[in-house]
């Protein structure tokens, strides 16, 4: 049986833990088929994999700002009572 070098283990363990913690947690995106409940919180996750064109979004001041939008976004959605009653209502003035 080989003997484990304890000095090496003391040095390697913190490195291993820091690398493990550096792995990003992957969030699963919310499917479009997920039912939306009224009067309760629905958590939604979406992934923007390609940046929008700089010229298409008037609030961006540079191409870099558009590039920085790529990523995972999380939302908490609250729907009012009666939201699902009329699917033609868009709830906008």
- Is the pTM of the predicted complex or chain greater than 0.85? no
3-state class (DSSP) for residue 21: helix
Residue 24 is encoded by which pair of tokens?
């990003």
Residues 69-93 have a mean pLDDT of 83
Q: What is the pLDDT of residue 18?
A: 56
CA–CA dist 81, 54 (Å, integer): 37
**Among 44, 54, 47, 51, CA closest to 74:** 44
Confidence band (pLDDT; 50, 70, 90) for 91? low
Confidence band (pLDDT; 50, 70, 90) for 8? low
Q: Which helix (H) or strand (E) holds 10?
A: helix 6-22
């Amino acid at each position: 049986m080989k003997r484990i070098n304890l000095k090496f283990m003391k040095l390697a363990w913190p490195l291993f833990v820091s690398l493990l913690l550096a792995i990003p947690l992957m969030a699963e995106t919310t499917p479009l088929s997920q039912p939306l409940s009224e009067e309760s919180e629905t958590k939604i996750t979406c992934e923007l994999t390609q940046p929008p064109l700089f010229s298409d979004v008037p609030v961006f001041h540079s191409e870099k700002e558009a590039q920085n939008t790529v990523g995972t976004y999380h939302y908490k959605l609250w729907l009012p009572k009666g939201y699902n009653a009329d699917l033609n209502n868009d709830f906008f003035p």
